[in-house]
Amino acid sequence: MDLHRLEPRQVRLSHQAATPATVAFLAGELDVLVFASAPEAPIVQMLLQTPGVRLMDFVQSEAYARRLAFLTPVVLPRGVVDLGADIPSTDVRLVATTTSLLAREGTHPALLQLFALAARDLHGQSGWFHRAREFPNAGSQSGFALAREAERVMRDGPPLLQRYLPFWLANLVERMWLALGLILAIVLPLSRVVPPLYEFRIRSRVFRWYGRLREIEADIDARPADEAALSEALDELERHVERIAVPLSYADELYALRNHIELVRRRLRTPAGA
């Protein structure tokens, strides 16, 4: 009323439920009915086809939308209610309220995507006031940020996997691909480090005894009097080597160590100067 500079005493407002308000209107107790309802509502359909009842043409619909952000100007085309009876007989300018689908910030992205798909299926068909695929849209003036999942659905439609798989399975595969990408980002660098470390660990089981074999060989070069002690040292070294377990791919190095032990044993048995 402030926009039209009307005094409260000049207008009598009545807030009633749809059915009592309609009965009062048809009885002449009310001059105007204001509905915020879908065109398919039975009470709206009945009133549109009732003789003597007509829609008010909002000639200032654009101005209303500019002054009140929650309103949108719409046009009811001629004959859209009943083509045969030509109802309405002219295009009618109206205003519609903006409806927004809101979700909490912590809502799971898969649910946001599902809500957007459901809204597209429910409201994506043509209607009295819009063409097909005009709703839902991102042009709302609600002041809330549009979720990325909803924007993606409205721009590109359902994700590729959801066109051929059930929602739960497509969403699971998408999450698995994300997890697989993270795993690959970790595993690929490790794949260059782990094999050399594994090889070093296996070969060290064998190579660590070459140090002891070299010590025995050095004692042989010194030609001590107690050759029996050196022979016992070689026997003890061989017993340790026999207990070494390595994969088959590294067995050649183990057998090479045994051959080297035998070479040192033969050297011990060879008389000096021979």
Q: How far is CA 160 from the centre of its chain?
A: 13
Give the pLDDT confidence score for residue 134 in this predicted structure.
67
pLDDT in 10s for each residue of the chain, 274 residues: 577 777 777 778 888 888 888 899 898 888 898 887 778 788 888 888 888 888 888 899 899 888 887 888 888 889 888 888 888 888 999 888 877 788 888 888 878 888 888 888 777 777 777 777 667 776 655 667 778 877 777 777 777 777 788 877 877 777 787 777 788 788 778 778 778 888 888 888 888 888 888 888 888 777 655 778 888 888 888 888 888 888 888 888 888 888 888 888 888 777 655 5
Q: Residue 118: what pLDDT? A: 81
Name the average pLDDT for the chain. Answer: 81
Instruction: Render pLDDT for 12-55 as a digit per residue (tens, 0 to 9).
Output: 888 888 888 889 989 888 889 888 777 878 888 888 888 888 88
Structure token digits, residue 31: 């001059």
Query: 């046009």: which residue's tokens?
Result: 75
Confidence at residue 197, expressed as pLDDT on a 0 to 100 scale? 85
Question: In this structure, what token pair is assigned to residue 27?
Answer: 């009885």
DSSP code string of 237-248: HHHHHHT----G
Cα-atom radius of gyration of the chain, to the nearest Å?
A: 44
Helix count and strand count (H, E) for the chain: 8, 2
Are 71 and 96 in contact by the 8 Å Cβ rule? The answer is yes
Token pair recorded at residue 91: 């295009």
Q: Is residue 128 within 8 Å of 80, Cβ to Cβ?
A: yes
Residues 144, 110, 134, 157: is their CA dihedral positive or negative? positive
Q: Quote the pLDDT of residue 198.
A: 83
Nearest to 161, CA basis, from 113, 107, 108: 113
pLDDT at 101: 81
CA 203, CA 11: separation in Å to the nearest integer?
A: 98
Q: Which helix (H) or strand (E) holds 222?
A: helix 167-222
Q: What is the structure's pLDDT at 166?
A: 83
Q: Which tokens in the block code for residue 185?
A: 């980002």
Q: List the alpha helices (DSSP H) in 138-166.
A: 148-156
Contact (CB, 8 A) for 55 and 93: no
